[in-house]
C-alpha cells in the first residue's frame, strides 16, 4: 500500500504590539505601505536590533502549549539570501539552537482517535516584506509594464516557526493538524490564526512510502498554501502525483512546488536548495536569549486549558458527543459561553444543539464572534424555558433567535412582542371578552336572544386584540360562560 508521510513547517505571526527587534507597530494589516518602518527594520547600516519582551513571551507560550522542552539559552542566527523585500540581505532566525524542541500535539481525528504529531522545534524569526507586482498578475508580465513595488511594513514582524516531525499520514490529517495548531494559538491570543490573511502560513512536506517493500519517494515541499482546505487539496494532489510516478517506476525529484489556486494543482518552483546555500552563521548583534525558570513557570501558569483537554472534559462532564465537544472547544469564547449557558439551563445537550446549529450559522452569516454579539447565557436559559414549558414552538424559537443575538433582548420579551406566546391565561382572555361585550352591547343582546352565531364575533374580537395569540378553545369556553351566565 502507498502511504503518505507528511511534515509541516508552520509560520505563525505573533500578536505582539511591536515588531521583533524595533518599536515599529506590528499591526500593519491594511495600513499605508511603508508607513510602519524605521532604520532597524529596513536594515540601515549602523542600527542594532533589540529583542522585544512580547516576542519572547508569546513564542514561549506557544512552545509550552506544544509541550516542548525549552532551551534556557538559545541563539539567533542569520539566514542569508537576496530578495527585494528583505533589505538587510539576511533574515534573523534561530537555526543552531532554537527556543524550544521536542514537543507534541494530539490531533483529534473525529472518530474518537487521536494522532500524536511530534514537534521537532519552535524558533523565533522575523518576517520579510512584500512585493507587489503592479498591474500584472505575474513577475513576467510586470517586467514589460515596469512595475514591482516593495512594501516593508511586514519586515521584522515576529514569527514563531513550528516544525513538525513527519508523523502525519494523510492529507486530511494534515488539515486537522493545521486546524489544531490554529486553535491552540488562538486560545492564547498568540496568533490570529488567519490563513487567508497570511497570519498563519504553512509549507507542507510530503513523501510517499510503499508499506510493502519500505521504499520511499523523495520529499516534495509545497509552499504558498493559504487556506486550511488547500492544505488538504494540495497534499491530495501531490500524493496522487507521486503515487502515480512510483507505480510507473518514475523518479520523483526533490523539489519545491507551489499550490496554484486557479488550476487546483501544484507547480514546480525550483529544485530544493541545500541548507548550506543560506550560509547560516550566528547573529553577532544579538545576545543569547536567556529564559529563566521563573519566566517559564509564570508563563506556564498563564496557559489556559487547551482545546483537546477541554474536549475530553466536555465529554466526561456534560455527556456531550465527541463531535459537539470538539466544535465547542475549538474556540475559547464559544466554549466559555457554553459552560456558563449549560450551567444556567441545566441542559447541556440542548444548549450545545442550539449553539452548534443556529448560533454558529448566524455567527458565520454575520462574520461575528460570539463576543461581538449581544447574546448572553441568560438568553439561552430563557429560550430553553420557553420551549420546554410549551410557551413557544420550536419553529417560533428559531424565528426569534437571530433577533435575540443581534438585539440582546430576552427571548420571552421578543416572543411576547411578536405575539408568539400562546395566551392561555383565562383571566387575560376574560378581560378581552368583557371589553368586547361592553363595546358592543347589541351583540350581547342578540346572543342572549338566541342568535348563537354571534359568538364568532366575540371570538374574533379577542383574537384581534391578542393578535391571534389566544388559545381558541379557551376563548370559546370563556366567551360562552360570560355570555350565558351574566
Binding site for ligand ADP (CB under 6 A): 5-9, 163-166, 205-207, 219
Name beta bridge partners: 245: none
Q: Directed axis angle between helix 426-439 and helix 441-448, to 10°? A: 100
Q: Give me 463's grid cell.
A: 383574537
- Give the C-alpha separation, 124 to 13, whole Å: 10
Q: Which is nearer to ligand ADP, 165 or 255 (CB)?
A: 165
**Residue 245 binds which one of Zn ion, ligand ADP, none, with CB within 5 to 8 A depending on kind?**
none
**Residue 7 binds which one of Zn ion, ligand ADP, none, with CB within 5 to 8 A depending on kind?**
ligand ADP
The two beta strands, 69-70 and 281-282, are: unpaired
Cα diameter, the chain: 109
In the numeric block, the cell 497570511 is attached to 198
Q: Which is nearer to ligand ADP, 217 or 396 (CB)?
A: 217
- Give the C-alpha separation, 118 to 104, whole Å: 4
In the numeric block, the cell 509550552 is attached to 64
Shortest distance in whole angstroms from residue 278 CB to ligand ADP: 10
Alpha carbon 168 to chain centroid, angstroms:
21
**Residue 166 binds which one of ligand ADP, Zn ion, none, with CB within 5 to 8 A depending on kind?**
ligand ADP
Q: Directed axis angle between helix 53-65 and helix 171-187, to 10°? A: 130
**Alpha helices per DSSP H over 146-261:** 171-187, 228-247
Site residues (vs Zn ion, CB under 5 A)? 22, 24, 38, 40-41
**Residue 466 binds which one of ligand ADP, Zn ion, none, with CB within 5 to 8 A depending on kind?**
none
- Give the C-alpha separation, 481 to 483, whole Å: 6
Shortest distance in whole angstroms from residue 47 CB to ligand ADP: 29
**Residue 386 binds which one of ligand ADP, Zn ion, none, with CB within 5 to 8 A depending on kind?**
none
Q: Which is nearer to Zn ion, 91 or 205 (CB)?
A: 91
Q: Which is nearer to Zn ion, 44 or 268 (CB)?
A: 44
- Give the C-alpha separation, 256 to 1, whole Å: 25
Q: Are 332 and 188 in contact (CB under 8 A)?
A: no
Q: What DSSP element (H or E) covers 317?
A: helix 307-318
Shortest distance in whole angstroms from residue 327 CB to ligand ADP: 28
Q: Which is nearer to Zn ion, 22 or 415 (CB)?
A: 22
Shortest distance in whole angstroms from residue 24 CB to Zn ion: 3
**Residue 60 binds which one of Zn ion, ligand ADP, none, with CB within 5 to 8 A depending on kind?**
none
- Give the C-alpha separation, 348 to 351, whole Å: 5
Shortest distance in whole angstroms from residue 156 CB to Zn ion: 6
Q: Which is nearer to Zn ion, 24 or 58 (CB)?
A: 24
> What is the secondary structure of 237-268 as a DSSP string?
HHHHHHHHHHHTTPPPP-EEEEEETTTTEEEE
- Give the C-alpha separation, 301 to 297, whole Å: 6
Q: Which is nearer to ligand ADP, 4 or 363 (CB)?
A: 4
Shortest distance in whole angstroms from residue 26 CB to Zn ion: 9
Q: Are 79 and 278 in contact (CB under 8 A)?
A: yes
Q: Residue 405 to residues 186, 335, 346, 357: CA-CA distances in angstroms?
A: 23, 17, 21, 14
Q: Give me 357's grid cell.
A: 446549529
By beta-carbon distance, which residue lies closest to ligand ADP?
7
**Residue 210 binds which one of Zn ion, ligand ADP, none, with CB within 5 to 8 A depending on kind?**
none
Q: What are phi and psi of 462, to 5 degrees?
A: -65, -40
Shortest distance in whole angstroms from residue 184 CB to ligand ADP: 17
Shortest distance in whole angstroms from residue 21 CB to Zn ion: 8
Shortest distance in whole angstroms from residue 87 CB to ligand ADP: 25
**Residue 163 binds which one of ligand ADP, Zn ion, none, with CB within 5 to 8 A depending on kind?**
ligand ADP
Q: Which is nearer to ligand ADP, 117 or 444 (CB)?
A: 117
Shortest distance in whole angstroms from residue 308 CB to ligand ADP: 21
**Residue 24 binds which one of Zn ion, ligand ADP, none, with CB within 5 to 8 A depending on kind?**
Zn ion
Shortest distance in whole angstroms from residue 155 CB to Zn ion: 8
**Residue 22 binds which one of ligand ADP, Zn ion, none, with CB within 5 to 8 A depending on kind?**
Zn ion
**Residue 206 binds which one of Zn ion, ligand ADP, none, with CB within 5 to 8 A depending on kind?**
ligand ADP
Q: Which is nearer to Zn ion, 52 or 377 (CB)?
A: 52
Return the HEC string of 428-447: HHHHHHHHHHHHCHHHHHHH
Q: Which is nearer to ligand ADP, 98 or 158 (CB)?
A: 98
The two beta strands, 130-133 and 148-151, are: antiparallel
Q: Which is nearer to ligand ADP, 5 or 296 (CB)?
A: 5
DSSP state for residue 304 in the 8-state scheme:
P
Amino acid at each position: 500500500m502507498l502511504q503518505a508521510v507528511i511534515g509541516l513547517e508552520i509560520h505563525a505571526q505573533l500578536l505582539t504590539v511591536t515588531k521583533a527587534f524595533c518599536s515599529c507597530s506590528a499591526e500593519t494589516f491594511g495600513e499605508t505601505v511603508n508607513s510602519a518602518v524605521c532604520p532597524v527594520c529596513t536594515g540601515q547600516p549602523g542600527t542594532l536590533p533589540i529583542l522585544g519582551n512580547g516576542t519572547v513571551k508569546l513564542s514561549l507560550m506557544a512552545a509550552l502549549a506544544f509541550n516542548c522542552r525549552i532551551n534556557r539559552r538559545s541563539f539567533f542566527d542569520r539566514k542569508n539570501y537576496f530578495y527585494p523585500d528583505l533589505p538587510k540581505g539576511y533574515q534573523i532566525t534561530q537555526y543552531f539552537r532554537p527556543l524550544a524542541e521536542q514537543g507534541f500535539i494530539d490531533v483529534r481525528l473525529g472518530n474518537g482517535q487521536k494522532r500524536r504529531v511530534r514537534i521537532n522545534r519552535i524558533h523565533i524569526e522575523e518576517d520579510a516584506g512584500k512585493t507587489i507586482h503592479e498591474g500584472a498578475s505575474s513577475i513576467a508580465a510586470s517586467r514589460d509594464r515596469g512595475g514591482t513595488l516593495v512594501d516593508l511594513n511586514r519586515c521584522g514582524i515576529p514569527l514563531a516557526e513550528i516544525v513538525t516531525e513527519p508523523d502525519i499520514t494523510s492529507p486530511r490529517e494534515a488539515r486537522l493538524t493545521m486546524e489544531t495548531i490554529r486553535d491552540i494559538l488562538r486560545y492564547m491570543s498568540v496568533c490570529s490564526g488567519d490563513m487567508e490573511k497570511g497570519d498563519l502560513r504553512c509549507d507542507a512536506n510530503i513523501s510517499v512510502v510503499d508499506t510493502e517493500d519500505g521504499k520511499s519517494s523523495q520529499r516534495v515541499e509545497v509552499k504558498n498554501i493559504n487556506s486550511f482546505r488547500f492544505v488538504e487539496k494540495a497534499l491530495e494532489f501531490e500524493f496522487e502525483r507521486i503515487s502515480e510516478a512510483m507505480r510507473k517506476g518514475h523518479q520523483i525529484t526533490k523539489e519545491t512546488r507551489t499550490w496554484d489556486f486557479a488550476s487546483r494543482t501544484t507547480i514546480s518552483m525550483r529544485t530544493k536548495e541545500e541548507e548550506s546555500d543560506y550560509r547560516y552563521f550566528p547573529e553577532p548583534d544579538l545576545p543569547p536569549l536567556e529564559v529563566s525558570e521563573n519566566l517559564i513557570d509564570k508563563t506556564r501558569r498563564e496557559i489556559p486549558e487547551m482545546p483537546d483537554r477541554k474536549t475530553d472534559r466536555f465529554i466526561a462532564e456534560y455527556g456531550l458527543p465527541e463531535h459537539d465537544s470538539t466544535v465547542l472547544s475549538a474556540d475559547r469564547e464559544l466554549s466559555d459561553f457554553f459552560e456558563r449557558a449549560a450551567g444556567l439551563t441545566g441542559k447541556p445537550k440542548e444548549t450545545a444543539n442550539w449553539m452548534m446549529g443556529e448560533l454558529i450559522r448566524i455567527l458565520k452569516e454575520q462574520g461575528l464572534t460570539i463576543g461581538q454579539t449581544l447574546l448572553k447565557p441568560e438568553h439561552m436559559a430563557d429560550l430553553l424555558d420557553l420551549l420546554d414549558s410549551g410557551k413557544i414552538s420550536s419553529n417560533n424559537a428559531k424565528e426569534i433567535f437571530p433577533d435575540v443575538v443581534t438585539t440582546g433582548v430576552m427571548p420571552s420579551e421578543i416572543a411576547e412582542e411578536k405575539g408568539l406566546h400562546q395566551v392561555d391565561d383565562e383571566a387575560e382572555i376574560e378581560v378581552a371578552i368583557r371589553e368586547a361585550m361592553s363595546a358592543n352591547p347589541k351583540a350581547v343582546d342578540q346572543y342572549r336572544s338566541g342568535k348563537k352565531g354571534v359568538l364568532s364575533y366575540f371570538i374574533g374580537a379577542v383574537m384581534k386584540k391578542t393578535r391571534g395569540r389566544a388559545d381558541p378553545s379557551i376563548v370559546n369556553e370563556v366567551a360562552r360562560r360570560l355570555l350565558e351566565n351574566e
